[in-house]
Amino acid sequence: MTTVPDDEDARRIRRALENAQYPPLPEPAYSDDLTEADIVPLKNFLAARLRELKARLPNDSEEQFAVHVLIQVVLSNAMRLTDGLNTWQRMVAAGRGEDPGWVQAMRKDLGDSYNQLVCITCPWRDHPDFAPHWRPRHYLNPAHRAALWGRAATLPPTPTPDVAQELPARQKGAEVFRLDQAGSGAGGRGPGGGAAGVRAGSRATVVRAASRAPTTLTHS
């Protein structure tokens, strides 16, 4: 027999989780800090693994050709990435790292290109030559990370409509559909609720206005 926790149990669990001491998360790596030294080992690792895969496939097969194309994509991407990083470092040294326009577009593209290479390594995470620090870099620098987290914290919560409450028709002449549920399916969204919850035995009364305006659903 399964015991369902009551409200008091839920409150105790929530308080315990809030008071638990979690170890601080390590500081993430940032894409602004990437250098050519970060790209070369990653490129060599991917090229070696893909060439091993290509050698195991039947000659002149479509699968072998696909892996061959992927090798070229990886090498091309890595070359473009190292060229971009060298350009980025020159811009930073010249004090132009915050210039708008193409500098910021290039800056973001460097992180995206690195993350693409990192994602291709996923099938070989258990390989002895895999480096654990090969992980996506989602932030440019600490200020970018703080700005994103701060913005997310200040966004208003997404309102959750309570379809069990009657919603007023906000436009004159709207059609009002009143769903009068006779069974237990009336109420909120999800299984047994909302439009999916209308079952046999329900009665629907449609009050139509003179004009064809957008509809508002009201439930009681």
7-46 pLDDT tens trace: 777 777 777 777 666 666 677 899 999 999 999 999 999 9
pLDDT at 3: 61
Determine, yes or no, domain membership for 184. Answer: yes
Determine, yes or no, domain membership for 98. Answer: yes
Segments of the chain with pLDDT less than 50? 158-220
pLDDT at 78: 96
Statement: the pTM of the whole predicted model exceeds 0.85: no
CA dist 184 and 121 (Å) reads 51
pLDDT at 76: 95
CA dist 38 and 135 (Å) reads 11
Based on the structure, what is the number of domains in the chain?
2
pLDDT at 157: 53
CA dist 113 and 117 (Å) reads 7
pLDDT in tens, 91-111: 999 999 999 999 999 999 999
Determine, yes or no, domain membership for 151. Answer: no
Same domain, 84 and 187: no
pLDDT at 83: 95
pLDDT at 14: 76
Residue 61, domain extent:
31-145
* Residue 115 CB coordination number (10 Å): 14
Domain boundary among the residues 126, 145, 164 is at: 145
Same domain, 121 and 212: no
Determine, yes or no, domain membership for 135. Answer: yes
Same domain, 130 and 193: no
